[in-house]
Amino acid sequence: MGSVSFILPCILGAFFFVALCYATPAPSPDLEFERCRNSSEIDVEVLMYCVHSEFQEDKLLETYRMYNTTRCVHCRNFCRKQETFLNCFRTFTGNVKDLSNKSRLMVPFFGRLFEEVIIKFCENESLMSAGYSHGEDGRCYKESRKSCGSHISPFNNMEDLAFCDKENTEYGEDNRKFTCQTLLEYLKCTETAADSCSDAVKNTHATTTSLLLNSETCGEYLA
């Protein structure tokens, strides 16, 4: 699961997406919601396979042979295969966007946000890779993310937040502003938590926050 643990924070400082979809569901009498959730779980499995297959040892070794001076082989491999990963997410969003009224609004929104951040991450790869390297920088970066995990707890229920309509829910149909504000709170928390980390790690966090603030997808909700 090492590749997955890399990819999630990479996408949105979360880059929380796949792990959150695997949250343990609560029982629900809403049969339509159950049908929708079961369908989305199948598509998540396909997405997981698509992503994970590009982080097999032979793929990482190939990348290392090509770029053996990189601080983060996973980062370089991710950006080298950027279009492949984009296609993984495009296929996923295409499969789940028509699951419900909510998904027709929220899934394209998440799709745009992921694409935007994936592209921006790779444009800033050298600056951001410090946080994903081995050694003290990597440890401090992971710890700062871990300490702020409660800020993204709402994403433990992606089915309710973005994929499926539900009879009794704390979320509305349009959760775009909530999503962007929640992500910003999380990223701001990680910046504070990384106060004792190196400048390289601090820059990684600051750059991630800047990507969100300046994104076309979330910018209007964070102004």
Transcribe the chain into DSSP letters.
Answer: -HHHHHHHHHBTTB--HHHHHTSPPPP---HHHHHHHHHHHHHHHHHHHHHHGGGSHHHHHHHHHH-TT-S-HHHHHHHHTHHHHHHHHHHHHHHHTTSSHHHHHHHHHHHHHHHHHHHHHHHTHHHHGGGGSSSHHHHHHHHHHHTTGGGGGGGGGHIIIII---SS-SS-S--HHHHHHHHHHHHHHHHHHTTTS-HHHHHHHHHHHHHHHT-HHHHHHH-
What is the tens place of the pLDDT at every residue in 40-55?
999 989 988 998 999 9
Asked if pLDDT for residue 7 goes beyond 90, the answer is no
pLDDT digits (tens, 9 = 90+) for 48-95: 899 899 999 999 999 999 988 887 888 889 999 999 999 999 999 999
**By residue range, what is the domain housing residue 56?**
2-21+37-218
pLDDT given for residue 128 in this prediction:
73
pLDDT for res 103:
94
- Examine residue 142 and state whether it is found in any structural domain, yes or no: yes
In a domain, 27, yes or no: no
Domain count, the chain: 1
**Does residue 30 fall inside a structural domain?**
no
- The mean predicted confidence, pLDDT, of the chain is 84
Lowest-pLDDT range of 32-41, 125-134, 196-205? 125-134
Residue 223 lies in a domain: no
In this prediction, residue 136 carries a pLDDT of 87
- Determine, yes or no, domain membership for 156: yes
- Is residue 32 situated within a structural domain? no
**Is 26 a member of any domain?**
no
Report if residue 189 sits inside a domain.
yes
Is residue 17 scored above 70 in pLDDT? no
